[in-house]
Structure 1
Amino acid sequence: MRAPELLDPASSAWTISAEPVADVLADLDPTDLLLALPVPSGGLPLTGAVVAALALVGLDVADVQAAHEPKSDAGSLTRIPLVPGERSARTVLLVGVGDASAPDLRKAGAALGRAAKGHAALVTTVGSGAGRAAQSAFAEGLALGGYSSPRWIGDDAKPATAPAAEIALVGSYDEPSVRHSVVRARATMLARNLAVVPSNIKNPAWVAAQARTLAGRAGLEVKVWSERELRAEGFGGLLAVGAASASPPRLVQLDYAPDGATAKTPRVVLVGKGITFDTGGLDIKPGEGMLAMKTDMSGSAVVLSVLAACRELAVPVKVTGLLALAENAVGGAAYRPSDVITQYGGRTVEIGNTDAEGRIVMADALAYADLRLDPTVLLDIATLTGAARVALGRSMAPVYASDDALTRALVGAGESTGERLWPMPLVEDYRPNLDSAVADINHIAGIGGGGGSISAALFLREFVGTRRWAHLDIAGVGRSDVDRGLFTKGGTGFGARLLLTWLEEMS
């Protein structure tokens, strides 16, 4: 798929109207129009506005209840086709919304978004009158449920199925909340698109080029370090990991400042792991372990998508994104187990396993942020350890942070977006497992050390100085093996909505 299409994820045209449903339907072509109505907890009998809306398309509520027995479970769908040419819609969808809480409306939205793929228009009253958080969740689900991963077929590359061309929300909605939710969902789609690009297309230079394009669109400042510049400035981690690849490493810095920003405006630095393909290096992965490794740059994809959305959402703080980009390949120039490398800032690291490369490139970027950028808060996000996936599966990610207030803020943002985080400890008793006899530190725990995700976080902490810092390990949640709910098979974009929500709430 050509880069411009990847950077503009296919999405619906959204309208929000307080007009009667009858008036909205009258203005639309009924040929391929879906009318979606909510089935609340308890399911039957359907009452009030739903009964009136069914009558508009010639359906008797008693007949519908007797013939279809619609369910109220969140995300359940009852499809009722209508006679072409005689009604103001082609199909009615009765959507279970459970107790109309934010999680249940998110599920309902995702199911509805999937059902509406490929159709011309969707009109719905689902979520009308709910609270802002619930309406935001519904809009996120509806947008992300309609997403399809890109496919590379000839020159006419497109998503497998386009979302509904038009979505009309009819009733009482908080429009700013809904609009912001759609922007955050589009950021997630962008991160997903970037994550699934094949690695014969996506190398560090390619990602840097996309960052330049997005920076131009979003009014961001951008700087890209070439291999020569990385060497001149001492980014030894990026250079070591990328040494065996025909595609040299890159470091990208993106800067956003809100209107009216001053020297006192807080600055958040986000660091994203950007391994565009990971063979494991000389500690090579088994073949099946490499199949998903085009998505090993998901952390950088999330950071890039967050920066690209900051201006549209009027994020009130300065935000800097650092993309640590390299390809971990096998070759005569590859870095080796037992090598000692010098990270940015001068700390020496003994290499314990070349397949633990993510923390090496991240250490360079974190040290640079600490020593040169003076952040108020420093946060990194990475598909870092299999241990995180083993510990928490694919439904939540561990978060490590230097203070409880930062943990609470991030966990809260995750709760509001459905991207759940679980606080994990930085166990000081594990720190000696990283001691090295030949360097300042070993980058993996010694034999029998265990606690792989914790040890990785402890290693990264060595490079953030005394900054307020948090680490999100998205190795489990950053990829999906199935098409279900909000997710499509491939990269999930996990963290984009969470981080944008967190940034919007800062001051």
Structure 2
Amino acid sequence: MSLPSQVSPPQIALADVAPTRVVGADLVAVPFAADDDGLSLGPGAAELLDEVDLDVFALLEHAKATGKAGEVVEHVLLSRAGLSNGSLRSLLFVGVGAGTPDDLRRAGAAVARRAKGRETLATSIPALSDDAGLRAFVEGLVLGSFGFHRRSTGPKETPVARVVLAGLDDIGTRQVALDRALAVAGAGWMSRMMALVPSNEKNPVWMAERAEEIAKSAGLSIEVWDEKRLVAEGFGGIVGVGQASENPPRMVKLEYTPKKAGRKVPHVVLVGKGITFDTGGLSIKPGDAMMNMKRDMTGGGVVMAVLGALADVDCPVRVTGLIPCAENSVSGNAMRPGDVLRHYGGRTSEVTNTDAEGRLVMADALAYAVAELEPDVLVDVATLTGAMKLALGQRTGGFFSTDDALADLIRTAGQAAGEPLWRMPLAEDYEERLESKIADADNAAGGPGAIIAALFLQHFTGGLPWVHLDIASVGDSPVDAHEWTMGATGFGARALLHWLELREPLAGVTG
């Protein structure tokens, strides 16, 4: 089942003319900021004031504008006499703070919200900055435009249809930055979209079908395990979690190889949790806690979106994505507390809480990667523990790592992408809590929850350099805030792509 028709991101182009000279633009946005002398206007403002009789500073003073990033003051034109562009209807003056990439990302998202329903926006805001700032502005603009609906009457709002980034020099060079920004923002859009699809439409088979579509469009190779093959090859965690559902489990493998890959090109394996709905199983969740569980496959959606964008960001390393997919349901065939599951490769887990299911499916995929794929680095991403949300709130993702260089690369990429990550400790003092009297480990060995879950997964990583992203803290945004729209965030896609586009994504990593 394909996704029903949804709103699309704006079409974005570059131009070297002033924003007021973009033919057909009904909305123009120019930047302003605060400095030691008060407020100042940025690129595009001089050309604008040559055509419009307006005391901008009086307007900003009346609005009590401060110039902080994302602040927007609108002026509706009552007369269009003398304008070079007769389509122009409104002006936006947009605060850009200090002009950092984070500030421009916020400005882009704010402009996107104010431009909804418009036909064409022309803006000179990216002319303030280098390629990093342009990319951040575009990512904010695209993701601030995001919308999702299942209304019979169509969406309540539509993004601005067309955006022209005006007043730019070196259009050819800037096009490279724009293309990368669109690829990264598109991956964020896709992962967000997949997480919002309701679970009466989205199940493990649906996930595999979406992966096949991505593979076809991005030129990836794909392999899918059905429920019979999962049983036959010993994926006991995936099978156990998924056995209660009428929707059978799947595991998806997507493979990307760079165009000029040699035999020694490094190999990264990404593993994404694909729980398409989580009731908690027999250790059932309270009703309110189930409301967001359609997005418990966020990690899997992130991995699929990242694989689909790797060619567009010219990723220089081989990347394999593994997405173990299951629906954690309740039935007479459900996995029970006290059951013992045998994972791929033979390690066993005693199930003391069926609601700690994500680590069970992730363990199978990690063990398969170590045994069969010869990776240089493992990275997994999952909405895994409520404990991470308690620790970090809803604006910062948590991660664990066994390699300092890899941790620094991932953290820096997250910062550049606007998806901040905080490194958590793999505290060995808690390892003894994983002990089970009858199996190799207890799947729910108490607190501290996020650390215990990470220690559980570490046993399946084969001693390889490994990063575990626990994005349960940031899987949902409670409100519209900057580039985040209320609901599922798809957090992680941008951070991983900012990392994997580096010329040396594994620089300094020790195998």
Please report the TM-score for the alignment, with normalisation by the length of structure 2: 0.93
Equivalent pair of 2:349/2:442 in contact (CA under 8 Å) = yes
Equivalent pair of 1:480/1:487 in contact (CA under 8 Å) = yes
Distance 2:495 2:262 in 1: 26
Distance 2:308 2:250 in 1: 19
Give yes or no for the alignment of 1:496 onto 2:498: no
Question: Aligned ranges for residues 291-302 of structure 1 at < 5 Å?
Answer: 291-302=291-302
SS at match of 1:282: coil
Equivalent pair of 2:43/2:124 in contact (CA under 8 Å) = no
**In the comparison of the two structures, how many residue pairs are matched?**
494
Q: Which amino acid is the alignment partner of residue 100 of structure 1?
A: G
- Equivalent position of 2:132 in the other structure: 133
For residues 25-56 of structure 1, what are the alpha-carbon distances to aligned partners after superposition, in whole Å with 9 as ceiling and x for unaligned? Answer: xx22x5xx110010112452547742332332
Identity %, equivalent residues: 46
For residues 299-353 of structure 1, what are the alpha-carbon distances to aligned partners after superposition, in whole Å with 9 as ceiling and x for unaligned? Answer: 0000000011111222111111111100000011001111111001111111110
Aligned in 2, Cα 1:435/1:417: closer, same or farther, shift over 3 Å?
same
Distance 2:178 2:348 in 1: 49
> How far off is 1:69 after superposition?
5.1
- Equivalent position of 1:40 in the other structure: 33
- Equivalent position of 1:169 in the other structure: 165
- Equivalent position of 1:17 in the other structure: 15
> How far off is 1:384 after superposition?
0.1
Equivalent pair of 1:71/1:78 in contact (CA under 8 Å) = no
- Equivalent position of 1:370 in the other structure: 370
For residues 364-393 of structure 1, what are the alpha-carbon distances to aligned partners after superposition, in whole Å with 9 as ceiling and x for unaligned? Answer: 000000100011111000000000000001
Q: 1:82 aligns with which of 77, 80, 84?
A: 77
Q: Which amino acid is the alignment partner of residue 77 of structure 2?
A: L
Q: Which amino acid is the alignment partner of residue 485 of structure 2?
A: T
For residues 226-254 of structure 1, what are the alpha-carbon distances to aligned partners after superposition, in whole Å with 9 as ceiling and x for unaligned? Answer: 00010111100000000100001000000
Distance 1:198 1:178 in 2: 32
- Equivalent position of 1:261 in the other structure: 261
Unaligned runs of at least 5 residues, structure 1: none
Distance 1:468 1:48 in 2: 46
Q: Which amino acid is the alignment partner of residue 91 of structure 1?
A: S
SS at match of 1:79: strand
Aligned in 2, Cα 1:45/1:255: closer, same or farther, shift over 3 Å?
closer
For residues 129-177 of structure 1, what are the alpha-carbon distances to aligned partners after superposition, in whole Å with 9 as ceiling and x for unaligned? Answer: 41322222111111111111x21123x7x55422111101112363322
Q: Which amino acid is the alignment partner of residue 430 of structure 1?
A: Y
SS at match of 1:259: coil
Distance 1:386 1:376 in 2: 30
Question: Aligned ranges for residues 34-433 of structure 1 at < 5 Å?
Answer: 34-42=27-35, 44-46=39-41, 49-61=44-56, 64-65=59-60, 67-68=62-63, 70-83=65-78, 86=81, 87=83, 88=85, 89-148=88-147, 150-154=148-152, 159-172=155-168, 174-433=174-433
Equivalent pair of 1:71/1:77 in contact (CA under 8 Å) = no
> How far off is 1:71 after superposition?
3.2
Give yes or no for the alignment of 1:474 onto 2:444: no
SS at match of 2:127: coil
Distance 1:160 1:255 in 2: 38
> How far off is 1:66 after superposition?
5.7
Q: Which amino acid is the alignment partner of residue 177 of structure 1?
A: A
Equivalent pair of 1:101/1:134 in contact (CA under 8 Å) = yes
Aligned in 2, Cα 1:171/1:346: closer, same or farther, shift over 3 Å?
same
- Equivalent position of 1:457 in the other structure: 454
Distance 2:502 2:327 in 1: 35
Q: Which amino acid is the alignment partner of residue 464 of structure 1?
A: T
Q: Which amino acid is the alignment partner of residue 255 of structure 2?
A: D
Farther-moved stretch of structure 1 (351-360 vs 473-482): 473-482
Distance 1:506 1:44 in 2: 40
Equivalent pair of 1:100/1:127 in contact (CA under 8 Å) = no
Q: Which amino acid is the alignment partner of residue 151 of structure 2?
A: I
SS at match of 2:125: coil
> How far off is 1:80 after superposition?
0.3
SS at match of 1:260: coil
Equivalent pair of 1:39/1:70 in contact (CA under 8 Å) = no
Distance 1:411 1:189 in 2: 21
SS at match of 2:75: strand
Aligned in 2, Cα 1:414/1:223: closer, same or farther, shift over 3 Å?
same
SS at match of 2:27: strand
Distance 1:427 1:498 in 2: 25
Q: Which amino acid is the alignment partner of residue 98 of structure 1?
A: G
Farther-moved stretch of structure 1 (38-47 vs 238-247): 38-47
Quote the RMSD (CA, aligned, Å): 1.8
